[in-house]
């Protein structure tokens, strides 16, 4: 009598987590699992109950900022200055769980942490760090990142915003567009062309000549504030100029940090979609049996799980490389490109499996699918990341 193959045991299959087929959680340290669990609980308790209504009514849930800050999620990878000093994998898990709630909330944390606190920490003076970082970590100061301009975003070197030295100060003129947090920000980290190259400027909200507008009627990231920034002879004192960098290296390094977090975040959105559609197809009866009992549906669910699993493993390895100081931007491009594409495909297919119910905000896939239309575009379009990888493979710049 032959023994039953171990891999055929029903108990093994029953132990599998549908949104973590390769048990990535087992590859995490105890601290990383603790971070994931605390953020997951916060999202379940505080975010998910209200986020659908926020999306529907185009409202950023500012009341969540205090809780996010209390958990240490703002600037979580920064050492000192009131920040948590967590590793890169922990930051990725934070992004994953937040985006399981909504891309808008993850975008808020990503902008505050990777695009605003990071450049102050990496390129700012000690005075700038002491002045801004502790208050940003507490959520007392909200910041935005001003790089993209109205005429285009994929070619930042072609920026029109200009800063001219005038005595001991700088005079800033120009405009930025599609800026997350812009209209609610106390501080804008603005990148502008100067006679010496691109520089970073810390523009405070009460500086004369600085104004913002809110982008309304969005069909994506509706629970996030998107704005235009306008600079009309704004005087910026020398002490508000980031001294540690000149050129595109500054803003591009910030984007690398943010793209890293996005590669994790989008997988959280995909997991939320798959989890809900599995439950739905098990209970939705059609032609005398549940949808989940059909081959076509099981194949589609399996495809979603395959994409999520691949994305999880890409991000985890990327995080380990980052923590070892070995990560390079091309690797980030691979993960952002692959994982955002995988997530939007999962969200769209999940919405389709929900049938007519799939267009309702009561179900998460349509909200995540619409949000991911923005996420797949910002911080580098698919084409930009494909060309980045192609350049690394060939040594030829085809931009």
The pTM for the full model equals 0.94
The C-alpha atoms of residue 221 and residue 261 are separated, in whole angstroms, by 17
- Report residue 6's pLDDT band, with 50, 70 and 90 as the boundaries: very low
Determine phi and psi for 205, rounding to 5 degrees: -65, -25
Q: Using an 8 Å Cβ cutoff, are 338 and 370 in contact?
A: no
Task: Say how far apart CA 235 and CA 237 lie, in whole Å.
Answer: 6
170-214 pLDDT per residue, tens: 999 999 999 999 999 999 999 999 999 999 999 999 999 999 999
Q: Which of 99, 149, 379, 382 is catalytic?
A: 379
The DSSP bridge partners found for residue 53 are none
Give me the pLDDT at residue 156, please. 84
149 is catalytic: no
Average pLDDT over residues 11-34: 89
Per-residue confidence (pLDDT) for residue 152, from 0 to 100: 75
Q: What is the mean pLDDT of residues 55-74?
A: 98
Six-digit token pair at 247?
């050129």
Q: Which of 339, 343, 335, 331 is nearest to 372 (CA)?
A: 343
Write out pLDDT tens, residues 308-354.
999 999 999 999 999 999 999 999 999 999 999 999 999 999 999 99
176: exposed, middle or buried (Cβ count in 10 Å: 0-12, 13-18, 19+): buried
pLDDT for position 13: 57
Residue 158: its pLDDT value, please? 87
Report the C-alpha gap between 104 and 275 in whole angstroms.
20
Going from the N-terminus, what domains does the chain have, and what CATH number goes with each? 11-137 (1.10.540.10), 143-240 (2.40.110.10), 249-394 (1.20.140.10)
Give 205's DSSP letter. Answer: T
pLDDT at position 15 is 82
When pLDDT is cut at 50, 70 and 90, the band that residue 3 belongs to is very low
pLDDT of residue 12: 46
Please report which confidence band the pLDDT of residue 256 belongs to, taking 50, 70 and 90 as the band edges.
very high
- Mean pLDDT for the stretch of residues 40-50: 98
What pLDDT does residue 395 have?
A: 96
Report the mean per-residue pLDDT for the chain. 95
What tokens were used for 31? Answer: 């601290």
Residue 228 has pLDDT above 60, yes or no: yes
Residues of the chain with pLDDT > 90: what percent? 93
Instruction: Judge whether residue 372 has pLDDT over 70.
Output: yes
Q: By the 8 A CB rule, do 193 and 159 touch?
A: yes
Contact 57, 71 (CB under 8 A): no
pLDDT digits (tens, 9 = 90+) for 18-27: 999 999 999 9
User: Among 185, 179, 219, 181, which residue's Cα sits nearest to residue 55?
Assistant: 219
Query: Residue 14's pLDDT band (boundaries 50, 70, 90)?
Result: low
CA 154, CA 149: separation in Å to the nearest integer?
Answer: 10
Rounded to the nearest 5 degrees, what angle is found at the Cα of 26, between the Cα atoms of 276 and 73? 70
Q: What is the mean pLDDT of residues 62-68?
A: 98
Residues 6+ apart with CB under 8 A from 101: 43, 47, 48, 51, 268, 272
Percent of the chain with pLDDT over 70: 96
Q: 48: buried, middle or exposed (CB in 10 Å: 19+, 13-18, 0-12)?
A: middle
Residue 5 reports pLDDT greater than 70: no
Q: Residues 125-139: pLDDT tens digits?
A: 999 999 999 999 999
């Amino acid at each position: 009598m032959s023994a039953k193959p171990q891999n055929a045991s029903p108990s093994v299959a029953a132990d599998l987590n549908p949104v973590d087929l390769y048990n990535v959680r087992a590859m995490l340290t105890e601290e990383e699992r603790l971070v994931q669990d605390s953020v997951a609980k916060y999202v379940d308790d505080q975010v998910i109950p209200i986020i659908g209504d926020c999306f529907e009514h185009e409202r950023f849930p500012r009341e969540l900022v205090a809780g996010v800050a209390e958990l240490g999620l703002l600037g979580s990878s920064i050492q000192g200055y009131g920040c948590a000093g967590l590793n890169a994998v922990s930051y990725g898990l934070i992004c994953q769980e937040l985006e399981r709630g909504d891309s808008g909330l993850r975008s808020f944390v990503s902008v505050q942490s990777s695009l605003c606190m990071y450049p102050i920490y990496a390129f700012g003076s000690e005075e700038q760090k002491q002045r801004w970082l502790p208050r940003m970590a507490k959520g007392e100061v909200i910041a935005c990142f001003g790089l993209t301009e109205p005429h285009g975003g994929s070619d930042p070197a072609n920026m029109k915003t200009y800063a001219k030295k005038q005595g001991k100060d700088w005079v800033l003129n120009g405009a930025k567009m599609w800026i997350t947090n812009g209209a609610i920000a106390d501080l804008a980290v603005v990148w502008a062309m100067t006679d010496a190259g691109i520089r970073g400027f810390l523009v405070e909200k009460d500086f004369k000549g600085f104004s913002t507008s809110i982008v309304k009627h969005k069909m994506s990231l509706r629970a996030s504030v998107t704005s235009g920034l306008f600079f009309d002879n704004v005087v910026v004192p020398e002490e508000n100029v980031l001294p540690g960098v000149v050129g595109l290296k500054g803003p591009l390094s910030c984007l690398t940090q943010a793209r890293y977090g996005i590669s994790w975040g989008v997988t959280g959105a995909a997991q939320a979609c798959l989890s809900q559609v599995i439950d739905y197809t098990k209970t939705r009866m059609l032609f005398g049996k549940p949808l989940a009992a059909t081959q076509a549906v099981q194949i589609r669910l399996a495809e979603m799980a395959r994409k999520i699993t691949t994305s999880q493993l890409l991000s985890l390895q990327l995080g380990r490389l980052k923590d070892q100081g070995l990560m390079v931007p091309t690797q980030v491009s691979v993960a952002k490109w692959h994982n955002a594409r995988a997530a939007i495909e999962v969200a769209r297919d999940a919405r389709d499996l929900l049938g007519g119910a799939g267009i309702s905000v009561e179900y998460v896939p349509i909200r995540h699918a619409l949000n991911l239309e923005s996420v797949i575009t910002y911080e580098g379009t698919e084409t930009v990341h494909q060309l980045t990888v192609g350049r690394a493979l060939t040594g030829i710049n085809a931009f």
